[in-house]
Amino acid sequence: MLIDFNNLNINQLSFNTDFERKVESFLKEWLTDETTVKVQTSGSTGIPKIFDIEKKKMINSAVMTCNFLELKKGNTALLCLPVEYISGKMMIVRSMERSLRLVITDPSLQPVKNLEKEIDFCAMTPLQVENSLDKLHLIKNLIIGGAAVSESLKNKMLQMNLSPSNRIFETYGMSETLSHIALRQILPQPENYFTAFENVSVSLDDRGCLKIFAPNVNVEVLQTNDLVEIKNNNQFRFLGRIDNVINSGGAKIFPEALEALVKKEIPNEAVFIGMRDESLGQKLVLIIEGNESEDLKTKIKEIPFEKNFHSPKEILFIKEIPRTSNGKINRLELHKIMSENK
């Protein structure tokens, strides 16, 4: 289905699938006189919430992204994300704000499998990108969000020899920032730091966690639980979530940093968790998705971890790592499963 926002007449459109009807519902909600719309959080770090967001601030967010990517009236975008969440809603708002031609396709793990023509803009989750590598050359500007982009996925994209005109970015944001407020380029030039949009300022609290002030999208200073390193006032590097920090024998361990290291060496999804231990308080355990493999265990043991206590005390395998409905790893559920199995 194609919606041309340069010439929108919702009454002349046919919304046939369940997903298309959800798009129709959001459009009708947007076109009312109400000043807000309802948005649901993903629930990856707690219980999902539904809250109201001002349409004006969603438009401000859309302008920042469209300007950064230099999207123009008449460009083609692709929507393949659930519209219950801010990620899908913002793709529609960006298309309205910039008068784009928006292709609607049901969210799936292979959203662009039938794509034959070049498009100017698309947003996907890492899992969707993983299953769409053969089509990335058709996407001029791709933003990846919803979960961290693994090192193995980055390497796969870097090895594809895409044209310099194909730009791929990792996003940083949350529902409260109306999708993302910073981007980090993966291709054509890999970057280590996220760069915040114009009129967005970042700082640290006394824990070393990121504080965001983006008045165009939220009047409040947003306090995150993300441990970061700040560079040049508007650039930052993500270290890990403070609520994921593992305290093992008094040493603080950032699991996300170790996961990035492990995923450079193995293709499987891998998650570090802290499990109760009488002497250490928490012992470092690595959970690998897939069948048990001595070969994988050997590769893990050969990784040159910076500290001795970064090496997992135990390596366990699970058929499938639990995820939220939009593809994020559900660490709370994983910890519960592994604790019950122990």
Q: List, in sequence order, the alpha helices (H) in 84-230.
A: 86-97, 126-130, 151-158
What percentage of the chain reaches a pLDDT higher than 90?
A: 71
Mean pLDDT of 85-102: 95
Band (pLDDT 50/70/90 cuts) for residue 282 is very high
Judge whether residue 342 has pLDDT over 80. no
Kindly report each contact of residues 167-172 with a partner whose C-beta sits within 8 Å and lies 24 or more positions away, as own/partner: 167/69, 167/140, 167/141, 167/142, 168/136, 168/142, 168/143, 168/144, 169/141, 169/142, 169/143, 169/144, 170/143, 170/144, 170/145, 170/194, 171/123, 171/143, 171/144, 171/145, 172/238
Kindly report each contact of residues 128-132 with a partner whose C-beta sits within 8 Å and lies 24 or more positions away, as own/partner: 128/80, 128/327, 129/153, 129/157, 130/156
What domains are there in the chain, each with its CATH number? Answer: 2-199 (3.40.50.12780), 245-341 (3.30.300.30)
| pLDDT of amino acid 16 | 92
Predicted confidence (pLDDT) per residue in 294-334, tens digit: 999 999 999 999 999 999 999 999 999 998 765 678 888 99
Strands 76-79 and 121-124: parallel
Cα gap 67→17, rounded to integer Å? 32
Q: Which of 32-46, 125-139, 170-184, 244-258 is predicted least confidently?
A: 32-46
Judge whether residue 48 has pLDDT over 70. no
Strands 194-196 and 179-187: antiparallel
DSSP 311-338: S-SEEEEESS--B-TTS-B-HHHHHHHH
Predicted TM-score (pTM) of the model is 0.80
Please give the radius of gyration of the chain, using alpha carbons only, rounded to the nearest integer: 21
Judge whether residue 147 has pLDDT over 60. yes
| pLDDT of amino acid 43 | 55
Tokens of 30: 């947007």
- What burial letters (b/e) apply to 32-45, b meaning 16+ CB within 10 Å? eeeeebebbbbbbb
